[in-house]
Structure 1
Amino acid sequence: MQPLTPQTLVRALLSFVLGLLIGALGTVVHRGAMPWGLLAGLALVLAASVMVRAWAGWPAYVGLVGGVFLAVVVLARTGPGGDVLLPGGDRVNAPWLGLAWLGGVVVALALGALAPRRWFDDTPRAPAAPAAPPSDGAA
């Protein structure tokens, strides 16, 4: 387990702020150009989750997840003027778009968490053993 040093806590805080920005940007953009805005937002969430996990480990990853979820949940609520960025019953444009964004964020963050640990390991590996010379088949 990674020790909680001041550097780790600063990286977790920066990842939280990055999560807020990515969650807000993705929530706004996912309805922009269907389906490309949705796909671009989900790709951004996936790339950020892998990048943060490689950069600073699990504490920063948890910060990113917290920031993304906070931004998405806050922006899913009804605004002061009655506007909603994640409508549940938008039958005119695409009723599935808001749910696809919410579910896609969960899947993208889960894929970042489930990526193999060896992708993020910086220790050098032992060189592979040389291949045996081919036999000529005469015995």
Structure 2
Amino acid sequence: MQPPSAATLRRAVASFGLGVLAGTIGTAMHRAVRPWGLVLCILLVLVILLTTRAWAGWFGYVAGTGGTFVAIQVLASGGPGGDLLVPSSDLWGWAWVAGTAAAVAVVAFVPRRWVEDEAPPA
């Protein structure tokens, strides 16, 4: 296996940032307009992860997934005043976490031909 190129590493860092953005927006907004806020936030994660997989391959997909779950984990923990964005007793919070995990799994099982360009026949 070849080591990743500098372009691949830059794309992975950008994918991580996009994942953090998706996780942050989703965690903050999934309860905003029930149930459509949750649906739109899960779709946002799905689209961003699919985009990172198409743009940077598996390396970018894993980075985007990591960024998404890091943002969710950090924002779901208690703040300094005890505030929670994803309380454990709230079904909307559980739906957000489970829906994000489902979106990650869906993108992982998308066929390769959907996200990779094939070279035209010579």
Q: Offset of 1:121 from its aligned partner?
A: 2.8
Larger Rg, first or second structure (1 or 2): 1
* Matched residue count: 121
* Identity level (%): 48
Partner of 2:91: 96
Hey, which of these two has a bigger chunk of helix by percent? 2
Superposition TM-score, scaled by structure 1 size: 0.82
Q: Does the Cα contact within 8 Å between 1:13 and 1:63 map onto a contact in 2?
A: yes
Cα root mean square deviation, aligned: 1.5
Structure 1 gaps of 5+ residues are 90-94, 127-139
Deviating 4+ runs (over 6 angstroms): none
Q: Secondary structure at the match of 2:49?
A: helix
> Are the equivalent residues in 2 in contact too, given 1:46–1:108 (CA < 8 A)?
yes
Q: How does 1:112-127 map to 2 (within 5 A)?
A: 112-124=107-119
Over 3 Å counting, the alpha-carbon distance change for 1:98 and 1:120 in structure 2 is same
1:6-25 equivalent positions in 2, closer than 5 A: 6-25=6-25
| Distance across 1 between alignment mates of 2:69 and 2:32 | 20
CA-CA distance at 1:96 after TM superposition:
1.1
- Give the TM-score of the pair, scaled to structure 2: 0.93
Residues in 1 aligned to 2:100 and 2:80: alpha-carbon distance in whole angstroms: 25
Unmatched segments (≥5 aa) in structure 2: none
